[in-house]
A and B are shown apart, each in its own frame.
Chain A
Amino acid sequence: MNSPLLKAEDLNVRFNTANGVVHAVRGVSFELGREKLAIVGESGSGKSTIGRALLRLHPHSASIDGKLQFGDTNLLACSEREMQAIRGRRMSMIMQDPKYSLNPVMRVGEQIAEAYLAHRKVSKAEARAKAIAMLESVRIRDPERVYNLYPHEVSGGMGQRIMIAMMLIPEPEIVIADEPTSALDVSVRIQVLGVLDDLVSQRGLGLIFISHDLNLVRSFCDRVLVMYAGRVVESIAAADLDKAQHPYTRGLLEALPSLDQRRERLPVLQRDPAWAA
């Protein structure tokens, strides 16, 4: 593995709110190669903020500083126009609930084709063919029929696969997935993850998987970043999670109920204010 796809150095994101300045992301640094990297944390940890900051989706009132090197592009120095060329084409994002992230008045196939047409000048027919091929690659049987469906006519799992198709059709280098399976049933979740897994490895993409589910990322991702109060408190290989060093990670792991280890009482996480410092 040569140079990383994405390199973040000392990333800081601050929001101006009615209650003062919220320092949501504090001095975060990490690298992403052609691998599945998980960013895990509880609510308020800043994990979703990072995902959106990478795509510069925050309003102008948010201040982002630090260094974000994407290949040969410094993401923080890009103009809005340059970012529009990057979003989708080189870096895209899969969101949590297809109910809200798909356009309800447009057929799903057309939305996928639109994602393709946004970055490539091809005929409509070719875009349609590409969209149908993409639907096949996310393991949707009968893609011709599904092409013509509206979002409210598809189930949650299928909607999420459509979302994946839409986000991967422009052939980006990096995909950010923000809680992509939290709204799905457990069996559907595994299937959707299987699709994502295959596509990511086939195309050699970098995947940033943002989630609160430590158990899930343990088996799905290659590396894990644990966040607390805006900071990365642990960066570790997924397979080594049970050897985690930081007390917050250990506390989280122990607080999880587990089928393999029955305990009378779950150890409650004792927050040390030093972690947020």
Chain B
Amino acid sequence: MITNTMIDIRALNLTFGLGDKANRVLRDVSLSVAAGESFGLVGESGSGKTTVLRCLAGLYNHWQGELAIAGKPLAHKLDRERCRWVQMVFQDPYGSLHPRHTVETALAEPLRIHGIGDRSSRIDNILTKVGLNPSFRYRYPHQLSGGQRQRVAIARALILEPKVLLLDEPTSALDVSVQAEILNLLVDLRARDGLTYLMVTHDLSVVAHLCERIAVMQHGSIVETLTRDALESNSASHPYTRMLVEASRHYSRELAQNIALQAA
């Protein structure tokens, strides 16, 4: 059966620690993302949204449940096959590039690992694709601005031509003006290459800009899945989602008191 589902997560559970220190980070998380779709995961810290991403990326191994990409179930251990299908862009552009590697080295490495030839022209192409002049090749990360670093990180993620891009708060460490550029870039890349996005963020306006469907997570489970339209027109049903929407729109004294009462 040919399925249109690119990412399939079923009953994903993950616990850190043992015994009474056990911390159940993910509780029966299930979602599916169609090919070419852009899906957002929002929540506050401790909601487990980044953990879901890291499980898909193979960075955590001790999850229970079923994960599948393009119909193929994922093993617990990261294998090289998966790298050609799924890649990730990390939050901190300063931390995700090796400080001692030039842009050239960082981009050539995945090609070397997978034995892909024609490195020089591929690097030129990908740099142009993300909007960087190929003359950036021999710079070190500390010679680049935050936005440039994030473009390099995106280039590195895309150089293996994956079908799925996992985005972990890709713009939260960037200035507003730079954020706009990177968001536009992500929109363009998806349109050009038909990529599937799974994006994690705490910023509701960013997720509404980039994603068509959105799941809201709290304490390790999904409380609501809704479309971007529903989010923007304030027709969310779950009270937690409504609170998040209101809090991200503006501050007001009444809102502060309401939230304080809810938390009590």
Also in contact, A266 and B256, with CB within 8 A (given A259-B245, A259-B249): no
Residue A237 at the chain B interface, CB threshold 8 Å? no
A residues 204-253 in Cβ contact with B at 8 Å: 212, 214-216, 218-220, 251-252
Interface size on A, residues (CB 8 A): 41
Judge whether B176 and A255 touch: CB under 8 Å.
yes
- Residue on A with the closest CB to B179? A255
Residue B55 at the chain A interface, CB threshold 8 Å? no
- Residue on B with the closest CB to A214? B176
Residue A187 at the chain B interface, CB threshold 8 Å? yes
Q: Select which of B44, B179, B208, B245 is within 8 A of A185 by beta carbon.
A: B44
- Residue on A with the closest CB to B205? A257
Residue B202 at the chain A interface, CB threshold 8 Å? yes
Also in contact, A259 and B248, with CB within 8 A (given A190-B255, A197-B256): yes
Residue A256 at the chain B interface, CB threshold 8 Å? yes
Digitize B174-217: 1 where CB-to-A-CB distance is under 8 Å, 0 elsewhere: 01110111011001000000000000001011101100000000
User: 11 new A-B pairs (CB below 8 Å) besides A185-B202, A267-B180?
Assistant: A191-B263, A194-B257, A194-B260, A215-B205, A218-B250, A257-B206, A259-B204, A259-B232, A262-B228, A266-B180, A266-B183
- Residue on A with the closest CB to B172? A182
**Nearest-Cβ distance from residue B257 to partner chain A, whole angstroms:** 7
Judge whether A186 and B244 touch: CB under 8 Å.
yes
**How many contacting A-B pairs (Cβ < 8 A)?**
104
CA–CA, A65 and B94, complex, Å: 34
Judge whether A262 and B251 touch: CB under 8 Å.
no
Interface set of B (CB-CB < 8 Å, partner A): 44-45, 146, 175-177, 179-181, 183-184, 187, 202, 204-206, 208-209, 228, 231-232, 243-245, 247-253, 255-257, 259-260, 263-264
CA–CA, A265 and B248, complex, Å: 21
Judge whether A266 and B209 touch: CB under 8 Å.
yes
Judge whether A191 and B209 touch: CB under 8 Å.
no
B44, B228, B256: most-surrounded residue (chain A CB, <10 A): B256
Also in contact, A265 and B184, with CB within 8 A (given A139-B260, A185-B44): yes
Residue A258 at the chain B interface, CB threshold 8 Å? yes
A141, A215, A252, A264: most-surrounded residue (chain B CB, <10 A): A215
- Residue on B with the closest CB to A197? B253
Q: Hey, which chain B residues are within 8 Å of A220, CB to CB? A: 251
B177, B181, B250: most-surrounded residue (chain A CB, <10 A): B177
Q: Hey, which chain A residues are within 8 Å of B247, CB to CB? A: 186-187, 189-190
CA–CA, A32 and B18, complex, Å: 54
Residue A276 at the chain B interface, CB threshold 8 Å? no
Judge whether B253 and A194 touch: CB under 8 Å.
yes
A-B interface, 10 closest residue pairs, ranked by CB to CB distance from nearest: A194-B256, A219-B250, A185-B44, A255-B180, A257-B209, A266-B180, A269-B177, A42-B175, A257-B205, A219-B251
Judge whether A190 and B180 touch: CB under 8 Å.
no
CA–CA, A194 and B187, complex, Å: 36
CA–CA, A252 and B168, complex, Å: 24
- Residue on A with the closest CB to B47? A185
Q: Select which of A42, A193, A260, A263 is within 8 A of B177 by beta carbon.
A: A42
**Nearest-Cβ distance from residue A42 to partner chain B, whole angstroms:** 4
Also in contact, A257 and B232, with CB within 8 A (given A42-B176, A269-B177): no
Judge whether B187 and A256 touch: CB under 8 Å.
no
Q: Hey, which chain A residues are within 8 Å of B206, CB to CB? A: 257
CA–CA, A198 and B175, complex, Å: 30
Residue A63 at the chain B interface, CB threshold 8 Å? no
- Residue on B with the closest CB to A266? B180
Q: Hey, which chain B residues are within 8 Å of A191, CB to CB? A: 256, 259-260, 263
27 contacts between A and B (CB under 8 A): A141-B264, A187-B259, A187-B263, A190-B255, A191-B260, A191-B263, A193-B256, A194-B253, A194-B259, A195-B256, A212-B176, A252-B177, A255-B180, A256-B205, A257-B180, A257-B205, A259-B208, A259-B232, A262-B208, A262-B232, A264-B187, A265-B187, A266-B183, A266-B184, A267-B180, A268-B180, A269-B177
Q: Select which of A141, A198, A215, A219 is within 8 A of B252 by beta carbon.
A: A219
Residue A43 at the chain B interface, CB threshold 8 Å? yes
Q: Hey, which chain B residues are within 8 Å of A259, CB to CB? A: 204-205, 208, 231-232, 245, 248-249
Q: Hey, which chain B residues are within 8 Å of A262, CB to CB? A: 208-209, 228, 232
- Residue on B with the closest CB to A213? B176
CA–CA, A195 and B253, complex, Å: 9
**Nearest-Cβ distance from residue B121 to partner chain A, whole angstroms:** 28
Q: Hey, which chain A residues are within 8 Å of B209, CB to CB? A: 257, 262-263, 266
Judge whether A256 and B184 touch: CB under 8 Å.
no
**Nearest-Cβ distance from residue B178 to partner chain A, whole angstroms:** 8
A residues 169-200 in Cβ contact with B at 8 Å: 185-191, 193-195, 197-198
